[in-house]
Amino acid sequence: MVVPYPGPLVDKLRDYGIKTWVLEPIVLRKQLLGSYGVVVKFIFGMPRAVRALRRLMRDENVDLVHSNTGVVIGGALAARRCGLPHVWHFREVFSEFGKAWRWYEPFVARYSTRIVCISEAVRSQFKSDSARGKTRIVYDGVTMAAVSEVEVAARSGSNEAPFRIICPGRINPPFKGQDVLVEATRRLLDRGIPVETSLVGDVFPGREYLKERLQQRIALLGLEDQVKITGFQEDIVSWIDGSDLVVVPSRHAEPFGIVILEAFARGKPVIGSRNGGIPEIIQDGENGLLVPPGDVDALTEAIVSLYRDPELRHRLALSGRHTFEERFSPKGTVESLDKIYKEILTENN
């Protein structure tokens, strides 16, 4: 395993006996789109980084290279130089980078043996035959411990005040839609529904202005006591367990929706936006509720329906628990990847 910098993951990998190196994997970052100096530094640093990865691949007698995200290109370049098969795992939707995607898609197609996509929403951005022919959908599995069906009933909540809503994810209202939930919270309170909303997460470093703007809107709406931005939380399980409802109000297409599966596992009802990979997880009215992205009215009404109907909350939560167990287990993910690896290695023998 190659990681870009030291951290807790390195220790966990090594505890499992997995060889781990801290090397530059060459990551395409947003800063490249806005700074000539960053681009120059990036280009001049690439040859050295690729050489280090090539040396590692040869020294370790690597048979196959797997790049675990679509914005890491070092594995692709080094694998090509070493004549090794390359699996490129895409977890992103690049709709906001349309011009860049037009040149990046052919590059991905050329430097991939297989392209693993975490949802149909991710796969759909590959338009060329050369790329789509290499794609395979492998849904992410979630290792979070699932509650029992008996516990789901206990976790569906009652109408005791306050009704606790959480929205986990990076603080990025233009993308994640936390501002939509803030506006809905104001409307819920105006209708006499006692609600508390927790925005569980923080901004990417350098984008603190997004958090400041959101806090200003919260203050303007008089919601300082009802809406809290918690910052990054290591123990997301406790936050999900302490909630009555999980909301994922994304404005733009989410590649998938891991937090939805985590809520399913813990026996909580979920409302999500009808975009990206979310509808591949949530069947509206069956295991959760879907609302149009950015629609405050629709989100408000969906929350009201769940607040007023504990039986509906229980039915959706129980169905979500079944969805998690039947479709999104880690075992299924591992088996799918194992099948892809074996196909490739058989082709190359």
- For 37-93, write each residue's pLDDT tens digit: 656 667 777 889 999 999 999 999 999 999 999 999 999 999 999 999 999 999 999
Report the candidate in 222, 260, 27 with the shortest Cα–Cα distance to residue 140.
260
- Are residues 188 and 303 in contact, defined by beta-carbon separation less than 8 angstroms? yes
Q: What CATH number is given for 149-327 in this structure?
A: 3.40.50.2000
C-alpha 182/C-alpha 197 separation (Å) is 8
C-alpha 57/C-alpha 11 separation (Å) is 22
C-alpha 258/C-alpha 282 separation (Å) is 12
CATH says 2-141+330-347 is which class? alpha beta
CA distances from 309 to 156, 243, 302, 305, 315 (A): 10, 16, 11, 6, 10
Task: State which amino acid sits at residue 207.
Answer: R
Residue 154: which residues within 8 A CB-CB, separation 6 or more?
none
pLDDT of residue 145: 87
pLDDT of residue 211: 96
- Are residues 284 and 259 in contact, defined by beta-carbon separation less than 8 angstroms? no
Task: State which amino acid sits at residue 288.
Answer: G
pLDDT of residue 280: 95
Compute the C-alpha angle 209/215/220, nearest 5°.
125
Report the candidate in 168, 109, 177, 122 with the shortest Cα–Cα distance to residue 144.
168
Query: Where in the chain are the domains?
Result: 2-141+330-347, 149-327
Per-residue pLDDT of the chain (349 residues; tens, 9 = 90+): 999 889 889 999 999 999 999 998 888 776 655 666 656 667 777 889 999 999 999 999 999 999 999 999 999 999 999 999 999 999 999 877 778 889 999 999 999 999 999 999 999 999 999 999 999 999 998 888 888 888 887 766 566 679 999 999 999 999 999 999 999 999 999 999 999 999 999 998 888 999 999 999 999 999 999 999 999 998 999 999 999 999 999 999 999 999 999 999 999 999 999 999 999 999 999 999 999 999 999 999 999 999 999 999 999 999 999 999 888 988 889 999 999 999 999 997 7
What are the b/e assignments for 141-174, b being 16+ CB within 10 Å?
bbebebbeeeebeebbbeeeeebbbbbbbebbbe
pLDDT of residue 46: 87
Sign of the torsion angle spanned by Cα atoms 51, 53, 56, 60: negative
Topology match between the domains 2-141+330-347 and 149-327: yes
